[in-house]
């Protein structure tokens, strides 16, 4: 074959772009949902220059580094629109006490974690997300948000930035009563003080002022009250006959959250369950609903509440879990009404990994089972819900969620040259139905290659694991969590688990 000089040699071009991915199957998630069989992605100065045919882009763009993506799918990095900071050091603790898990963990976060805890946990959390292909992750600090001091969020964001993963720090007030006791650890001693609602709002404001669009816009900060209505059950749908209207504090909180969001031009994130949307919409001026809001869970909402979410343009995110069986998020109905819905991990405690591949499949199964219909949530829709739809949910789809010229270069590859992902055809089906987080081979964030063939380039992975284990053990001992780590006598050889003992005493909190 006669050799033909590349176009850049013919033109005498010598400027090198930063990075060129070649020879891969590019799943663009652009408006046409193009899938390029021998595709390439050109990247320079943190942005995508062009997506197209491999040979065309090789001729057009000489690069400082070329990554051969043969036998790989190239995708936009996943966006995990809801997870928790802190949880990565408490995986599976209190799973045998699942009905007491929330007060156990909330008490731990409020009184037994150090300032450094948030840094070590942030490193582990960011590392797990990175290695599973999540390039942007929302982190609600604690089980309920904690914002009595900005240091927790600042340390967490510092850790994420060092790893190289985008983080949306979500912090704000937990639920009443107020004032509320919180503890700091100073020189190994617990110092507890009563904190007012105004003080936690001030702490959240300080976080947003410091972190929103920080680190070259790899860090954002959203104002995040625990729930959008505080006067009803915060973790489960409230029956219609128990909805007695908004309280004065409900209205006060909505107004304060709206004022903070407007002041800092940021977004609002919160949890919601059935009954809350019916109540929230009654506050026409300050309702925590609308295009600048994304609500997690929305389990057990009524049809009229789903209509309110769709009509107000409120974004919804939901995670697959046992709670979906008792009170489902009406995902398919919301989608049919035109709402934006993202699938999230809600990771990683008590028992959920930061693995968007697993999250997609679990959510599909739960929705299909609930509706008794195999055909709901086809694989293409599932992939949209962790990429472009998830980016839209968090208000970042102008720059993230798809591989298109001009967008930020957040890109992952999936190694298809493995037994469980062969044969290499029907690539979207294969990625959605058979891949797992450990199949992600390369990760690029903001144009920087930060994982190369599963080797993390930004941090010392072994040191992160060592520090995280040591901090977890210190916190477990400090908080007295060992009792919640012991298997019950029904753990082995029984079809159903019982505890047969009282491990949790709420009077001692």
Question: Could you tell me the two tokens for 224?
Answer: 């995040």
494, 496, 500, 506: CA torsion to nearest 10? 140
Contact indicator for 109, 93 with CB cutoff of 8 Å: no
What's the CA gap between 358 and 346, in Å, rounded? Answer: 12
Average of pLDDT values for 349-370? 97
- 105-124 burial: b if 16+ Cβ within 10 Å, else e: bbbbbbbbbbeebbbbbbbb
* pLDDT per residue as tens digits for the range 164-223: 999 999 999 999 999 999 999 989 999 999 999 999 999 999 999 999 999 999 999 999
Question: Could you tell me the two tokens for 127?
Answer: 């590392």
Parallel/antiparallel/unpaired status of strands 293-299 and 78-80: unpaired
Parallel/antiparallel/unpaired status of strands 78-80 and 315-318: unpaired
What's the CA gap between 116 and 74, in Å, rounded? Answer: 36
How is the chain split into domains, by residue range? 7-76+404-456, 78-393
* pLDDT per residue as tens digits for the range 93-117: 999 999 999 999 999 999 999 999 9
What's the CA gap between 64 and 448, in Å, rounded? Answer: 12
Average of pLDDT values for 23-41? 98
- 75-86 burial: b if 16+ Cβ within 10 Å, else e: bbbbbbbbbbbb
Contact indicator for 211, 220 with CB cutoff of 8 Å: yes
Which superfamily does 78-393 belong to? Answer: Metal-dependent hydrolases (3.20.20.140)
Predicted local distance difference test score (pLDDT) of residue 6: 54
Residue with tokens 């609002």: 268
**Which uninterrupted H or E stretch holds 24?**
strand 17-27
> Mean pLDDT over all residues of the chain?
96
Question: Could you tell me the two tokens for 143?
Answer: 């089980």
What's the CA gap between 428 and 185, in Å, rounded? Answer: 49
In Å, how far from its chain's centre is CA 100?
Answer: 24
Average of pLDDT values for 464-473? 98
Same fold, 7-76+404-456 and 78-393: no
Q: Looking at domain 7-76+404-456, which of 2.30.40.10, 3.90.1150.10, 3.40.1710.10, 2.60.120.40 is its CATH number? A: 2.30.40.10
What's the CA gap between 58 and 61, in Å, rounded? Answer: 6
Predicted local distance difference test score (pLDDT) of residue 501: 92
Helix runs in 351-426, H state only: 356-371, 379-384, 388-393
Question: Could you tell me the two tokens for 273?
Answer: 């369950």
In Å, how far from its chain's centre is CA 126?
Answer: 11
61, 65, 71, 75: CA torsion to nearest 10? -70
pLDDT band at 13; cut points 50, 70, 90: low
Supply the DSSP symbol for 81. Answer: -
Contact indicator for 421, 87 with CB cutoff of 8 Å: no
**Which of 10-14, 382-386, 499-503 shows the lowest mean pLDDT across its residues?**
10-14
Predicted local distance difference test score (pLDDT) of residue 509: 79
The backbone torsions φ and ψ at residue 159, rounded to the nearest 5 degrees and listed phi first, read -65, -45
Residue 375: Cβ within 10 Å count: 7
What's the CA gap between 328 and 325, in Å, rounded? Answer: 6
What's the CA gap between 165 and 79, in Å, rounded? Answer: 11
In Å, how far from its chain's centre is CA 435?
Answer: 19
Give the sign of the dihedral formed by CA 253, CA 259, CA 264, CA 268. Answer: positive
Tell me how far CA of residue 460 lies from CA of 46, 164, 348, 463, 466, in angstroms: 23, 12, 22, 5, 10
* pLDDT per residue as tens digits for the range 416-461: 999 999 999 999 999 999 999 999 999 999 999 999 999 999 999 9
Instruction: Record the pTM.
Output: 0.96
What's the CA gap between 365 and 173, in Å, rounded? Answer: 34
Percentages helix, strand, coil for the chain (3-state, rounded to 5) are 40, 25, 40
* pLDDT per residue as tens digits for the range 42-52: 999 999 999 99
Question: Could you tell me the two tokens for 180?
Answer: 């509320």
Contact indicator for 94, 104 with CB cutoff of 8 Å: yes
What's the CA gap between 479 and 142, in Å, rounded? Answer: 15
What's the CA gap between 108 and 479, in Å, rounded? Answer: 6
Question: Could you tell me the two tokens for 439?
Answer: 């199949």
């Amino acid at each position: 074959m006669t050799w033909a000089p590349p176009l850049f040699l013919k033109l005498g071009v010598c400027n090198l772009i930063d990075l060129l991915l070649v020879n891969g199957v590019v799943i663009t998630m652009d408006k046409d949902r193009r899938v390029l069989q021998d595709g390439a992605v050109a990247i320079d100065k943190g942005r995508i220059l062009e997506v197209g045919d491999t040979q065309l882009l090789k001729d057009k763009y000489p690069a400082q580094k070329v990554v051969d993506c043969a036998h790989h799918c190239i995708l936009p990095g996943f966006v995990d629109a809801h997870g928790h900071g802190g949880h990565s050091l408490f995986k599976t603790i209190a799973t045998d006490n699942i009905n007491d898990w929330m007060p156990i963990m909330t008490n731990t976060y409020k009184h037994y974690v150090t300032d450094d805890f948030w840094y070590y946990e942030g490193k582990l959390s960011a590392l797990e997300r990175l290695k599973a292909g999540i390039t942007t992750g929302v982190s609600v600090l604690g089980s309920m948000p904690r914002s009595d001091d900005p240091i927790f969020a600042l340390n967490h964001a510092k850790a994420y930035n060092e790893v190289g993963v985008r983080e949306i720090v979500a912090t704000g007030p937990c639920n009443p009563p107020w004032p509320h006791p919180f503890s700091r650890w100073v020189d190994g001693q617990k110092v507890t003080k009563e904190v007012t609602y105004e003080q936690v709002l001030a702490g959240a404001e300080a976080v947003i002022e410091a972190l929103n669009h920080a680190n070259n816009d790899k860090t954002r900060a959203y104002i995040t009250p625990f729930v959008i209505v505080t006067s009803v059950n915060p973790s489960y749908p409230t029956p219609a006959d128990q909805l007695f209207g908004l309280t004065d504090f409900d209205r006060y909180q909505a107004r304060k959250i709206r004022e903070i969001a407007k002041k800092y031009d940021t977004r609002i994130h919160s949890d919601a369950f059935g009954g809350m949307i019916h109540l929230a919409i009654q506050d026409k001026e300050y309702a925590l609903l609308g295009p600048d809001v994304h609500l997690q869970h929305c389990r057990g909402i009524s049809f009229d509440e789903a209509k309110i979410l769709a009509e107000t343009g409120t974004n919804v995110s939901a995670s697959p879990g046992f709670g979906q069986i008792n009170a489902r998020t009406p995902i398919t109905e919301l989608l049919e009404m035109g709402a934006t819905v993202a699938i999230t991990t809600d990771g990683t405690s008590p028992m959920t990994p930061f693995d968007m591949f697993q999250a997609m499949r679990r959510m599909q199964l739960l929705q299909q089972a609930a509706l008794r219909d195999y055909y709901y949530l086809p694989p293409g829709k599932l992939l949209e819900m962790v990429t472009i739809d998830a980016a839209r949910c968090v208000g970042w789809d102008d720059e993230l969620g798809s591989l298109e010229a001009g967008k930020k270069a957040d890109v992952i590859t999936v190694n298809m040259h493995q037994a469980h992902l062969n044969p290499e055809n029907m690539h979207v089906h294969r990625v959605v139905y058979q891949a797992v987080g450990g199949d992600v081979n390369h990760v690029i964030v903001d144009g920087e290659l930060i994982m190369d063939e599963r080797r993390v380039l930004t941090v010392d992975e072994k040191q992160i694991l060592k520090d995280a284990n040591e901090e977890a053990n210190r916190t477990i001992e400090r908080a007295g969590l060992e009792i919640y780590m012991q298997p019950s006598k029904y753990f082995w050889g029984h079809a159903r688990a019982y505890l047969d003992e009282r491990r949790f005493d709420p009077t001692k909190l």
